[in-house]
Chain A
Amino acid sequence: MTTASSADHPTRRDFLFVATGAAAAVGGAAALWPFISQMNPDASTIAAGAPIEVDLSPVAEGQDIKVFWRGKPIYISHRTKKQIDEARAVNVASLPDPQSDEARVKSGHEQWLVVIGICTHLGCIPIAHEGNYDGFFCPCHGSQYDSSGRIRQGPAPANLPVPPYQFVSDTKIQIG
């Protein structure tokens, strides 16, 4: 009896230890999930991030407004003919983040530029109508964006992003 039990003893013991250890590891990992998941936006924050509608009719040519969507400032610029022409005259290939102006606005609504007004460098808010490119200038580290919101000079690596939006009528857009 002693011979038999001592022969299979170690295997049985090992299996038990491995199974218990594995159960503890699985349980521990599963128990961790709620503690991580709770850091994500809660249901009310997600609900508050629903699309918003913006009426463009009060914005005159050459003016711009700032609206907030999901806590982010969105610049809506009613561009002048000069600004549009400047934006389209640039050689796209020469840009740090090559993108044509046509790709950044909705066709038929070229006068409207809608961008997220957060500098792609480190998150400051650029000032509209400043800088050398008739666009935006970020006061934090001197990044300059053109009238299409594309990066032209300074440390920022990318163009101002265009948020998801669509025209619901000629004078109304829905952001989100």
Chain B
Amino acid sequence: MSGPSDYQPSNPALQWIERRLPILGLMHSSFVVYPTPRNLNYWWTFGAILSFMLGIQILTGVILAMHYTPHADLAFKSVELLVRDVNYGWLLRNMHAVGASMFFVAVYVHMLRGLYYGSYKEPREVLWILGVIIYLLMMATGFMGYVLPWGQMSFWGATVITNLFSAIPYVGESIVTLLWGGYSVGNPTLNRFFSLHYLLPFLIAGVVVLHVWALHVSGQNNPDGVEPKTEKDTVPFTPHATIKDMFGVSCFMLLYAWFIFYMPNYLGDADNYIPANPGVTPPHIVPEWYYLPFYAILRSIPNKLAGVIGMFSAIIILCFLPWLDAAKTKSSKYRPLAKQFFWIFVAVCILLGYLGAQPPEGIYVIAGRVLTFCYFAYFLIVLPLLSRIEKPRPVPNSISDAVLAKTGSRSTPMVSSAIVLALAGALFAGSADSARASEGSDKPPGNKWSFAGPFGKYDRGALQRGLKVYKEVCANCHGLSYVAFRNLAEAGGPGYSVAQAAAFASDYKVKDGPNDAGDMFERAGRPADYFPSPFPNEQAARAANGGAAPPDLSLITKARSYGRGFPMFIVDFFTQYQEQGPDYVSALLQGFEDKAPEGVTIPEGSYYNKYFPGHAIKMPKPLSDGQVTYDDGSPTTIAQYSKDVTTFLMWTAEPHMEARKRLGFQVFIFLIIFAGLMYFTKKKVWADSH
């Protein structure tokens, strides 16, 4: 892409191709001899990291689509079955779901790097604008992808975001109907979102090609913001940049793998493990963390149309950045004022992200308005003004001068800003957490779970006892519809043999049919059957339980959570604390009190529970001491029952957890060794260039 290549392959077959389609020459000039500034720091590896993430997302996405059913009645179940039954399905799903977050982590670093070093300035305006287009496409893709699992957040996120378009005067409502393909978000919406979610990544890949093309025409910017003048200023792309990028990618993979194998649900919302229900909105609608700053801007502006315009302008304004900031000096390294305002801007974005996850009330609204003003002021007031009044420090004559002038302190700003960004990321992720704070109830006490931590395993005895408690108590009202009897004999489960699972199944009566005469009939359960639900449908469940349908328990430990609050959610990232759900379920089972405390009134037909949000629960106290007999001598107390049945329900929600953690450990060993090797290889390759 940097002019006609003089590359000539030696192999005659390749020569034959090269004369007809000079693709090898293109590759050679773009990715081998392409001159790359020798002073690039590690922030520049995020371009390669983004390419890697795009590849991973497309690859895993194509595979998930092989197992996914885009139908409102089947989508949620197909995702669950993919995770449970497909070989490595849990891994592929985690890679894709976490991958989306990692993609946005990388793109935000990439964008902030461009902002800091002035990479949008002449002659790279088109390169920058193409990047903004990629970012917009990513946001659309991410949003539609989040809808596909068809959980509660999927459904209500889709409703809220499509309703943004209803703010458009006169035609808004028609546009929304057009987007939905119905009178509300429903099956047609899901189908088209699936189609578009599959299409957009390929558009992104296309724009990425243009982005790279534009990059290779104007050349890379660099930390000093001076254009390369002589050959001494650059090094060939291969091996220097390739090996450095690969080292960057392998370090990034460590973070990625941390989430995939140990914290797959940390960045998600527990509500999305509840199937979509058009009749009930979750108490807090929170978008994925990467949209939060814009969501905060939307909510800060009291007028509906103005809010929507504000939110979209917050992104579109980036396109005008090359002209808003007219300063001649590119890099903020030599702009003392711009540097400070840059970090203030980063802080504003993080705080906006935090506010986006808070309930829109009181001080949060005011803070949101102030920060929204600050966000726009950075682009519309600070940058134009700075380019007129700021006196930049002298810029080095050339890149080689800059490299020679460097001292050992070079890496310090890199490390400190990495720490700042890591904390910011944790704050973002955790801000989603605080939104789900269970209001009007006590925080469940923490427990020691055998399955917690990086080497956690299920306690087989607890699983078997928990199954007994479920069967004798919970199963009277609650289904377990994603669990099959065959699962009881699978590795990482309660440890029954295939014959024991078959015998367990044969105790159940399962409806089958129609037979040759066209009649439905009952037969004994088989290992392939799923646990039968106690009620034939939701209406029957509702009618039999005073109006509240008992939820299915297959996923309950992942579908319930509570806010951990700042700074616990940051600590949780490092300690891999993932047990909010089990803590809540176990506390709920033990949280019944015969008499509501003073001042709390519980409606007729409800019961007081210390840990249930709002305290009034329709489920009567399910467990009492001695209710279920244990054969292994474990205490038959409510505390023990709760612990056992919660362990069992954690297994039903996450049947491959042991395999996940085991593979995670192996992957970590490999990645650490690999990243180490890459580091030394990179040092060797660069030995002569520093």
Contact = CB atoms under 8 A, between A and B. Distances in A.
Interface of A: 13, 16-17, 19-20, 23-24, 27, 30, 33-35, 37-40, 42-45, 47-48, 50, 58
Given A13-B684, A27-B670, A37-B88, A47 B677 contact: no
Contact of A42 (B63, B89, B516, B527): B89
B335 interface: no
B646 to A, nearest CB: 25
A16 B67 CA distance: 41
Contacts of B63: 35, 38
Given A17-B681, A38-B63, 9 more contacts: A19-B677, A20-B677, A20-B680, A27-B674, A34-B91, A38-B66, A40-B87, A44-B484, A50-B526
Interface of B: 59, 63, 66-67, 81, 84-89, 91-92, 246, 484, 486, 490, 516, 526-528, 670, 673-674, 677-678, 680-681, 684
13 contacts: A17-B681, A17-B684, A23-B673, A27-B670, A34-B92, A35-B63, A37-B88, A39-B66, A40-B87, A42-B85, A44-B528, A47-B486, A47-B527
A19 B91 CA distance: 27
B81 A44 contact: yes
A27 B253 CA distance: 12
Contacts of A58: 516
Contact of B677 (A16, A30, A42): A16
A50 B498 CA distance: 13
Nearest to B675: A23
B66, B86, B684: most-surrounded residue (chain A CB, <10 A): B86
Contacts of B681: 16-17, 20
B92 A24 contact: no
B680 A38 contact: no
A37 B85 CA distance: 12
Contacts of A17: 681, 684
A16 to B, nearest CB: 6
A67 to B, nearest CB: 11
B86 A35 contact: no
B85 A24 contact: no
A35 B490 CA distance: 22
Contact of B674 (A16, A24, A48): A24
B226 to A, nearest CB: 32
Contacts of B484: 44, 47
Contacts of B490: 43
Contacts of B527: 47, 50
B66, B88, B246, B490: most-surrounded residue (chain A CB, <10 A): B88
Contact of A50 (B87, B92, B528, B673): B528
A41 B84 CA distance: 13
The 5 closest A-B pairs by CB, nearest first: A34-B88, A47-B528, A42-B85, A43-B85, A20-B677
A12 to B, nearest CB: 8
A20 B250 CA distance: 12
A47 to B, nearest CB: 4
A16 B674 CA distance: 11
Contacts of B88: 33-34, 37-38
Contacts of A47: 484, 486, 527-528
Nearest to A43: B85
B683 to A, nearest CB: 9
A58 B517 CA distance: 12
Nearest to B655: A43
B290 to A, nearest CB: 25
Contacts of A16: 677, 680-681, 684
A19 B680 CA distance: 11
B84 A43 contact: yes
Contacts of A39: 66
A14 to B, nearest CB: 10
A27 B674 CA distance: 9
Contacts of A30: 670
Nearest to A65: B516
B87 A42 contact: yes
B87 A48 contact: no
B105 to A, nearest CB: 21
B92 A38 contact: yes
A13, A24, A43: most-surrounded residue (chain B CB, <10 A): A43
Contacts of A50: 526-528
Nearest to A23: B674
Given A17-B681, A44-B81, A35 B674 contact: no
A37 B89 CA distance: 10
Contacts of B59: 35
A146 to B, nearest CB: 29
A37 B67 CA distance: 13
Contact of A20 (B66, B486, B528, B678): B678
B80 to A, nearest CB: 11
Contacts of B89: 38, 42
Contacts of A20: 674, 677-678, 680-681
B307 to A, nearest CB: 43
A145 to B, nearest CB: 26
A74 to B, nearest CB: 16
B674 A34 contact: no
Contacts of A44: 81, 85, 484, 528
B160 to A, nearest CB: 33
Contacts of A45: 85
A30 B84 CA distance: 21
A30 B670 CA distance: 11
Contact of A37 (B84, B87, B516, B674): B87
Contacts of A35: 59, 63, 92
B87 A34 contact: yes
A20 to B, nearest CB: 4
A37 B528 CA distance: 21
B254 to A, nearest CB: 13
Contacts of A43: 84-86, 486, 490
Contacts of B91: 34
A165 to B, nearest CB: 18
B528 A48 contact: yes
A50 B527 CA distance: 9
Contacts of A23: 670, 673-674, 677
Contacts of B526: 50
B295 to A, nearest CB: 34
A13 B680 CA distance: 10
